[in-house]
Amino acid sequence: MLAVPLLVLCGFPVLTSIGISQVVQIVGAISGTAANAHFGTIDFHLASFITIFEICGVIIGAHTIHRVDSGNVKKFVGVLCLIVGTLFMYRSLAPL
């Protein structure tokens, strides 16, 4: 959530920032999976279903991102960060 905007602000190209953030997500996912496996709380049926769609999304996204102008990608990432940030603020401030 924060890696891509921070890396772009530090001057890294958008595609590099996205690639770095995906590697960081893999490390986080592996550590979370190891902890959940230790406690036996993994739904392997659901995990396999989600994994198939994530792999397809990564493949489609990688092909698409290299065909789109990097300026447009930067704008899209910025708008997406604003939308997600607004939704997080709304959820945290909304009464229970």
* CA 4 from centre of chain: 9
| pTM for the structure as a whole | 0.62
Q: What is the mean pLDDT of the chain?
A: 88
The DSSP 8-state label assigned to residue 25 in this structure reads: H
pLDDT tens-place string over residues 79-91: 988 998 899 899 9
For residues 74 and 14, is the Cβ–Cβ distance under 8 A? Answer: yes
The domain spans of the chain are: 3-93
pLDDT tens-place string over residues 43-72: 889 989 999 999 999 899 889 888 988 888
List C-alpha distances in Å: 77 to 26, 40, 44, 69: 20, 36, 32, 13
**What would the two tokens of residue 18 be?**
């996205």
Alpha carbon distance 3, 10 (integer Å): 10
